[in-house]
Structure 1
Amino acid sequence: MLTIDVFTSGYKPIVADGHDAPTWPASTSTLIAGERDAVLVDALITAAEAGRLVEWIRSKDRNLTHVYVTHGHADHFLGLSVVQRAFPAVTAVALPEVVPYAQEQVAPGYLAYWESLFPGQLPSGPPVVPVPLDGDVILLEGAEIRPVAVGQSDTHPSSVVHVPGAEAVVGGDVAYDGIHMWLAQTDRAARRRWLAAIDTVEALRARRIVTGHRDPGAPDEDAARILAFSRGYLTAFDEALTGAPDAAALIAAMDAAYPGLGNPYTLSASALGQF
């Protein structure tokens, strides 16, 4: 029987001009474990949090065989170099269509952007990029871990990880939980495709969803609740955008509809990206 444990990074201060005390959204890495071996999903971004992640994995006393990267955003995989130094035999993989986008994120221009957000905090040395997954599944002690291409999330292409034996999905950035959704790089058409991706996840009939970004105080991992929140947020954002003359009005409308959500910087960046 497989177990699923989740490491949550917490919110991280970033440098972003024009924003009040901005933070990066709390992020997760998920360990899917059997009796002896384990597979990690996503590997965070800063050296410090990746180091804490490594110690957490060691505490589980499992042989780490793979790290699966759900999509090409660097905040989900720049920590790979730290993980691979600790577990040299591990293989980092992603869907073949995701790999070119991950490679793009470690080009000098993109790395400079990430360094500007997290000055002096990225892992040292050459970044590690996942290689294409060979086949459709990752076998963990005979049990299938199934990457599922879903197309759009806060970037395209994206995937989730279906663990049928545990009735669970590790969702990357397709669903969010208790935290503002990153919409800065989406338009209305992309958000319609994102809603279709949520439908794809729902069709997997999981009871449990681990989201790539979630508030540390999220009450549970109930799939129905999380998918409903994510679908509702995307719909509400487009409705608010229709009547908003500027980013400030859009932010105000979303704050009124979703008071108290984590990481206000995300909403600010998302709103500014629409105007």
Structure 2
Amino acid sequence: MTLRYRVFLHSYLGFNSNSTLFYGEKDAVLIDASQLLSDSHVMAAEIIRMRKNLTHIYVSHFHPDHHFGLYVLKHAFPNAKIIALPTTVKDIAFTSSDKVELWAIDRFGKDDIPKQTTIPMPIREPRIELEGEEIVFSDGWEGDSVDNTVVWVPSLRVVCATDVAFHDCHLWPIESNVERRKKWRESITKLLDFDPRIIIPGHHDEAKLKILEEVQEDKTRSYTDCVDWSIKYLDVYDEVYQTAKNGPEFLELMNKYYGHVKAEDFAVHWLARLLFPRTCPDWVTPLPGEPGKIFLNPDGGFDGDPPKE
């Protein structure tokens, strides 16, 4: 049986992230968990109904919307190996307590966040096999954080872009600055070097699920639109970042270009609060913690743009 995939889109409060299940006749491999436990409960139920043997769960990077749900999945699929590349394992270990404390707030539901994180096992070789077909992992990708990884399935010509590329979902420039976003654009463009037929973005809206299902069935079609969309978003964001002089202007400009995008729109609110702490309107979504103590990299530093006022 030729490998197939199924994409699970997680909830709005789960950052509209996704997980991708690659499966054959009997076995399956899952790429990423979710942030909210409830999202992984829903996904686990769907996977169980598929009657596949889940052999591995791969975690792409240290952001909790890709691994908090492991708490659910390790109980639902106790025989599945939870794996990641060594850099990701280190990053999760270094940030685990900070991330749990950051996100265990009322907005996300304290019971919907694990009490502690699950640390994946490091893999020696950046590849595994699924029913005789390779699934290849590569690190060193710049995305919405440092240390992103990407997944490539040669037999399907499918790339899981994880958090390197998004589509119709607000990107996450919170943990990047102008120089890092230049590298991010390079990584987005580099996705095309695989010569993929399909690129699955790490975050997207509901409409992309239908497109991803359709292009899987119709081999004459391709879907790599998230590349151009993500680069355009970063270009617009950098223009707004350079132009806006206060919080209301920043929000007005972002709304002008992307007011129709609802997925992860609270990220724009948090950017406004971080960049313009004095003039940001009171109605803007509150930050989940104190600036300087949130959205930190695995070394404990903040990679985002400095406040403009």
TM-score above 0.5, yes or no? yes
Alignment of 1:171-182 (within 5 A): 171-182=161-172
Q: Distance in 1 between matches of 2:165 and 2:197?
A: 14
State the Cα deviation string for residues 99-155 of structure 1 (Å, max 9, x = none): 121113322x32111102423233556431112122021111110101122421111
1:7-46 CA-partner distances (Å, limit 9, x unpaired): 112212xxxxxxxxxxx52121110001111100001022
The 1:157/1:238 distance shift into structure 2, 3 A limit, reads same
Whether the 8 Å CA contact 1:74–1:105 is kept in 2: the answer is no
The yes-or-no answer on 1:120 pairing with 2:121 is no
Seq. identity, % = 29
TM-score by length of 1: 0.90
**Structure with larger RCO (C-alpha < 8 A, sep 6+):** 1
Q: SS where residue 164 of structure 2 aligns?
A: coil
Q: Find the aligned partners of 1:239 and 1:57 in 2 and give their Cα distance.
A: 42
Shift of 1:258: 2.4
Please tell me whether the aligned partners of residues 81 and 123 of structure 1 are also in contact (alpha carbons under 8 angstroms). no
- Specify which of 101, 105, 119 is matched with residue 91 of structure 2: 101
Normalising by structure 2, what TM-score?
Answer: 0.80
Partner of 1:256: 256
Matching residue's letter, 1:243: T
Residue 157 (str. 1) matches residue 157 (str. 2): no
Deviates more, 1:252-261 or 1:135-144: 252-261
1:46–1:121 Cα contact (<8 Å) kept: no
Corresponding residue of 1:220:
211
| Alignment map for 1:69-108 (pairs within 5 Å) | 69-107=59-97
Separation in structure 2 between the aligned mates of residue 207 and residue 248 of structure 1, nearest angstrom: 41
Deviation per residue, 1:38-74 (Å, 9 max, x gap): 1000010222111111111112211001111111001
Q: Distance in 2 between matches of 1:5 and 1:187?
A: 34
More moved, 30-39 vs 234-243: 234-243
The aligned counterpart of 2:243 is: 243
Q: Aligned partners of 1:209 and 1:161: how far apart in 2?
A: 10
Stretch deviating more after TM superposition (226-235 or 211-220): 211-220
Contact 1:150 1:197 in 2 (8 A): no
Query: Structure 2 stretches of 5 or more lacking a match?
Result: 213-221, 276-306
- Assess if the C-alpha contact under 8 Å between 2:96 and 2:116 holds in 1: no
User: What do you get for the CA RMSD once the two structures are aligned?
Assistant: 1.7
- Aligned length, in residue pairs: 263
Q: Which amino acid aligns with 1:253?
A: L
Gaps of at least 5 residues in structure 1 are: 13-23
Q: Which amino acid aligns with 2:44?
A: V
Contact 1:9-1:27 within 8 A present in 2 as well: yes
1:110 and 2:71 aligned = no
Aligned to 2:178: 188
- Separation of aligned partners in 1, 2:207 and 2:68: 25
Q: Give the AA of the match of 1:135.
A: E
How much has 1:248 moved relative to structure 2?
2.8
Say if 2:161 and 2:202, in contact at 8 Å, map to a contact too.
yes
**SS state at 1:170 partner:** strand
* 1:64 and 2:54 correspond: yes
Larger Rg: 2
- 2:133 matched to 1:143? yes
